[in-house]
């Protein structure tokens, strides 16, 4: 059984488009995260939700909007995509300070 | 400012060589410490963690790490690496309470030559 799943796995789109990435966890965790991993593998936290409530919002452009319809899901919507948004986006869920990562979504903006 | 430094960005070793990857952190208060591994094309997986107690912690696949509080360090070690250990290794820190924020290091790319 997949613990943390993300869709899609790959996303290729043009500048200016709007796209969404979905994340689901079946671990029963209360806390979920979005991370961005750039081409140099640097991993940076973007958002975190605890029980559907936004608790961490790092200095991310407001073109990025997370949504948590329930504690098992955390989606990421990106408006007006830019070249610099190209990266791998990882969703994670957390319990007892351990993080469980999804497989990642490789976003390529052309 | 909260930060995690991994001094070795790229490490190349031959099989059976010993490994030590450095990790230093700057974080107010008591911390939880982690090492995660990312195999090529895969997601991050927990290798080992330190919450409290014995500062020498053992993880999966023969890895261990030692927490030295006075040096703000949590170095990762393995006595004999294998080709399958080729991966990116990330050190991470979070506070023991009051926050859900993780700070990750920049990663160390390990290549093990067969």
Report which secondary-structure segment, H or E, holds B78.
strand B73-78
Average pLDDT, chain A: 92
Q: Is the pLDDT of residue B83 over 70?
A: yes
CB-based contact (8 Å) between B64 and chain A? no
Neighbours of A93 (CB within 10 A): 26
Using CB atoms, pick whichever of B100, B102, B107 lies closest to residue A50. B100
* Distance, CA of B77 to CA of B87 (rounded, Å): 14
Using CB atoms, pick whichever of A42, A97, A100 lies closest to residue B107. A42
The top-scoring range by mean pLDDT among A88-97, B58-67, B89-98 is: B58-67
Check residue B2 and give its pLDDT: 81
Check residue B54 and give its pLDDT: 95
Residues on chain A touching B94 (C-beta within 8 angstroms) = 97
Q: Is the pLDDT of residue A59 over 80?
A: no
Residues on chain A touching B103 (C-beta within 8 angstroms) = 45
Best mutation target, B44, B48, B87, B92, to test chain A (most A CBs within 10 A):
B44
Check residue B99 and give its pLDDT: 67
Note the maximum CA span of chain A. 39
Q: Is the pLDDT of residue A1 over 80?
A: no
pLDDT tens by residue, B30-55:
889 999 999 998 889 999 999 999 99
Q: Is the pLDDT of residue A42 over 70?
A: yes
Check residue B98 and give its pLDDT: 66
Which range has the worst mean pLDDT, A21-35, A37-51, A78-92, B65-79? A37-51
Best mutation target, A43, A53, A106, to test chain B (most B CBs within 10 A):
A43
Three-state secondary structure of B22-41: CCEEECCCCEEEEEEEECCC
> What value does the mean pLDDT take over residues A47-61?
87
- The more confident residue out of A97 and B21 is B21
* Distance, CA of A20 to CA of A8 (rounded, Å): 9
CB-based contact (8 Å) between B111 and chain A? no
Residues on chain B touching A94 (C-beta within 8 angstroms) = 100
B45 to chain A nearest CA, in Å? 7
Report which secondary-structure segment, H or E, holds B110.
strand B108-113
Residues on chain B touching A98 (C-beta within 8 angstroms) = 34, 46, 49
Check residue B100 and give its pLDDT: 73
B80 to chain A nearest CA, in Å? 25
- The more confident residue out of B11 and A59 is B11
Check residue A63 and give its pLDDT: 95
Check residue B30 and give its pLDDT: 85
B4-13 burial, b at 16+ Cβ within 10 Å, e below that, comes to bebeeeebeb
> What value does the mean pLDDT take over residues A58-80?
93
Average pLDDT, chain B: 92
């Amino acid at each position: 059984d997949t613990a943390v799943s993300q869709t899609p796995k790959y996303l290729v789109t043009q500048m200016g488009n709007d796209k969404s990435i979905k994340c689901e966890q079946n671990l029963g965790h209360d806390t979920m995260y979005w991370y961005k991993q750039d081409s140099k593998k640097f991993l940076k936290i973007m958002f975190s939700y605890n029980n559907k409530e936004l608790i961490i919002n790092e200095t991310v452009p407001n073109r990025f909007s997370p949504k948590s319809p329930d504690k098992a899901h955390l989606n990421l919507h990106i408006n007006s995509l830019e070249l610099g948004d190209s990266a791998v986006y990882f969703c994670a869920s957390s319990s007892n300070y351990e993080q469980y990562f999804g497989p990642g979504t490789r976003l390529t903006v052309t | 400012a909260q930060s995690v430094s991994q001094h070795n960005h790229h490490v190349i070793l031959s099989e059976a060589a010993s490994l030590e990857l450095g990790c230093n952190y700057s974080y107010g208060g008591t911390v939880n410490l982690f090492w995660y591994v990312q195999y090529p094309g895969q997601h991050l997986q927990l290798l080992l963690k330190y919450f409290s107690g014995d500062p020498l912690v053992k993880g999966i696949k023969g890895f261990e790490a030692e927490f030295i509080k006075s040096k703000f360090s949590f170095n990762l070690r393995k006595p004999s690496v294998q080709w399958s250990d080729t991966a990116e290794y990330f050190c991470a820190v979070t506070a023991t309470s009051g926050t859900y924020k993780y700070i990750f290091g920049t990663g160390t790319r390990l290549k093990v030559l067969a």
